[in-house]
A and B are shown apart, each in its own frame.
Chain A
């Protein structure tokens, strides 16, 4: 009997991938909820590491007709002391009640592992970059070159040898150009030939072949093809993210932590959209400076508060290093809302004239102490200023946050996919 032994190990993996995707799609709202819940509990650094999530089984339940209750009979192994007619207590440990039908009913939650990509996708699924359509037009300034088939005219540097030879070969076959070995064969036959008459016939044949070879060139100008190139608009695939933060004495650790969480989310979000994302940290008191991340969040600083200094520094950096036609610029500012009164005018001017025109997005996050009582009081000076600017039409996004748990909702709120604007753009 023939026996086939087959090595299946090399078969492409991921056979269940499609089923898994279907499952995730079906459980999407549940999984999404779970993902958000998980990510709130997690440290923001590994918020997107993927990992185990738990969803209620309810929506994913596969119902069957199952029987339960009633009188039950069961045969069990391992009798030690019972004799016929004994009674066993129901609630005791010694009773064998736990077996039999109905097992597995208690399974009301379902745990499984999500990969990192799946996690990020679900985490950021319903978020959208603001005003993407508008900027796209501006982005077409940079162009790239892309191959686009073949052409009959072009510069010699662009000759496509393989395509040319291919066409020449086709033409030679079609026109029956004599092959080299055919001629050689005939020549050999002539050399070996002793009969004079036959020799004449062969010579005539040879002449004919040679003439034909001459008439039909090996490569004809007709055959020549050039590689064609097209210029295509190249989307800007890099982004820079400016993190501006007030580090004056009035900013507590808690506030900085809130800001940090927001920045992390923004970073992850941008990272998913752009190949290359740079971060610039600018901290300010009454002067602004560009610092590294460690200093930004943890370095000690003190002094008054001049927001305009940070905006000015950002403007300088953009001018020096990040040409707005090559970079998508995002900025997020976090502050407790204090600003010296005299600085208001300058800040407003810098923002509307210099910063906002080059930015894709500018978000202002006002952080408060846990408990949030500060917000019941009147608005801070910076908030009042920005609010005024926004009301006069500046594309500013601003939110207040005082609790860790609010960070994600606020972020979510800022980047929520706007159905209306999409529908407008579609037709």
Chain B
């Protein structure tokens, strides 16, 4: 029998080392995980609160809003309204995991398995993180950002810097590139492509097309609008990027500040799209590792029961009419789907063979899961892998709430044969950031007139912007743009629903 990792609840740094080694053995040998080097840091409750208020990052620039969040978290923590997380993990290389000092040895094992191996693997392998984040560079970048903000404050005054950062923060959710930029082709590739295009044209040439009547040719003004929009890169949905590049009267340091906020928003963009998957992966991994450690006799039955207790707390999903209910628990959903994939791969039923012909009975659980972890985000993950069995297990149903409907809220689909696909599609949509965030883009600038910036909000399903907040954000936007800004809310038929016009505030000379 192998040696126990620890006895009782106490741990020291040697214990942590042993635990990490044991977890790593299971993670790499049994699960085939591929992780960044780990760095494990033990912190106190106060430091955990610190980390909370600076979005979990170990270093961050100074801003009053972080102080506000700290005060808020501290107040609710002191009153016992809020427990603290057992850990925080940072998508960086080395991957930093913060462990709370209060945790028992079992909890530390759980947390190390969860964060240092589960999350870590996900960060390193998921395509979104690969595409949008630079784990090697993030800490250096944050360090740069912190120092840059500080030097700006020294040079241009705290008030000015704060004003710019306030504005940038308000626009943060719209400072993200949602699609990777076009890759520049080199000349040779371009030539090849031109050749292919010509060849294609020759192949599909049909003289008949010449006789099809053309639409009216574009007028001169339409052409100039088109040219202008192309020049400014419009339409542009990344508002911060647009301001950074095109706002007429920003100082270079202000542009750099916008850039910093934009980069940080971009860094967190994958996390908002992969909550279910990220937590599901980490939960699945810690469950596998802990079970294995228990099988090997490295942790006692008592330890394992302690683990199971907190594990079941984490993956608890209250039902919709439960007072504790606040939406789907990403841990519960992610873990359930991943366990279900394991079942489908190893012990499929006829239904599964029908629904998941690609993976049913494939028997290579980790191979399938690693592929899932690498190539999906929440929306596609649910759309692809939520099985009828699981929908029945959660007893899912779909509600459609149309304010126009007098009779009330309609139950649109339930967990039955007719409803499976519809429920699954709706749940996937609920996890699609494209549907969650308002679709706002810069469409034009009145360059020949008063330089007004024109934005459109494409309203989906009649859900418009909150008016007070929208006005405030637009005020910030106008302050940066320094000319009038108008936001037009249009529905799918280009009907204007509401229009905002905001003028910039005069900058007081006092400060």
Contact = CB atoms under 8 A, between A and B. Distances in A.
B401 A97 contact: yes
Interface in B289-341: 317-322, 325-328
Nearest to B320: A76
A84 B72 CA distance: 43
Nearest to A112: B71
A6 B328 contact: no
B410 interface: yes
Contacts of B38: 1, 3-4
Interface stretch (B61-69, B189-197, B351-359): B61-69
- Output the residue of B63, B101, B397, B464 with the most chain A CB within 10 A: B397
A85 B410 contact: yes
Contact of B62 (A19, A24, A77, A87): A19
Given A6-B40, A8-B41, A84-B413, A78 B394 contact: yes
Interface stretch (A55-63, A243-251, A295-303, A350-358): A55-63
B67 A85 contact: no
B386 to A, nearest CB: 10
Interface in A60-78: 60-78
Q: Is the interface of B mostly helix, strand, loop or mixed?
A: mixed
A103 B24 CA distance: 40
B18 to A, nearest CB: 11
B397 A82 contact: yes
Nearest to A9: B44
B320 A96 contact: yes
B440 A22 contact: no
Given A64-B473, A78-B322, A8 B43 contact: yes
Contacts of B430: 73-75
A61 B472 contact: yes
A94 interface: yes
Contact of B411 (A26, A71, A86, A89): A86
Interface string B8-22: 000001001100110
B151 to A, nearest CB: 16
Given A85-B411, A99-B320, A73 B429 contact: yes
Interface stretch (A10-18, A223-231, A259-267): A10-18
Interface in B357-384: none
Contacts of A24: 67
Nearest to A17: B67
Interface stretch (B45-53, B127-135, B269-277): B45-53
Contacts, number: 265
Contact of B328 (A23, A62, A77, A86): A77
A196 interface: no
A80 interface: yes
A132 interface: no
Contact of A18 (B62, B68, B317, B461): B62
B462 interface: yes
A28 B41 CA distance: 36
Contacts of A274: none
Interface stretch (B228-236, B250-258, B416-424, B503-511): B416-424
Contacts of B162: 22, 26
Contact of A19 (B13, B20, B64, B98): B64
B402 A71 contact: yes
Nearest to B17: A5
Given A63-B472, A64-B173, A87-B411, A113 B42 contact: no
Given A16-B50, A25-B64, A99 B411 contact: no
A19 B74 CA distance: 13
Given A13-B47, A78-B322, A69 B75 contact: no
B408 interface: yes
Contacts of B456: none
Contacts of B246: none
A320 interface: no
A4 B112 CA distance: 13
Contacts of A25: 64
A60 B469 CA distance: 13
Nearest to A76: B320
A147 to B, nearest CB: 33
A101 to B, nearest CB: 8
Nearest to B477: A65
Given A7-B13, A112-B72, A96 B414 contact: no
Contacts of B404: 71
A145 interface: no
Given A11-B47, A16-B66, A78-B394, A65 B473 contact: yes
A77 B42 contact: no
A122 B174 CA distance: 37
A165 to B, nearest CB: 42
B78 A113 contact: yes
A99 B326 contact: yes
Contacts of B24: 1, 3
Given A7-B13, A8-B42, A15 B62 contact: no
Contacts of B414: 79, 82-84
A321 interface: no
Contacts of B40: 3-6
A72 B162 CA distance: 37
A347 B285 CA distance: 87
Contacts of A6: 39-42
A84 B20 contact: no
Nearest to A107: B72
Nearest to A62: B65
A113 B71 contact: yes
Given A6-B41, A23-B71, 13 more contacts: A7-B42, A11-B47, A15-B50, A16-B53, A66-B466, A73-B461, A75-B426, A76-B396, A77-B328, A78-B321, A80-B395, A86-B410, A113-B78
Interface of A: 1-9, 11, 13, 15-16, 18-27, 52, 60-80, 82-90, 94-97, 99-101, 103, 105, 110-113
15 contacts: A4-B40, A5-B17, A8-B41, A15-B50, A24-B67, A62-B166, A65-B469, A70-B463, A71-B400, A75-B397, A75-B399, A76-B320, A78-B318, A96-B320, A96-B325
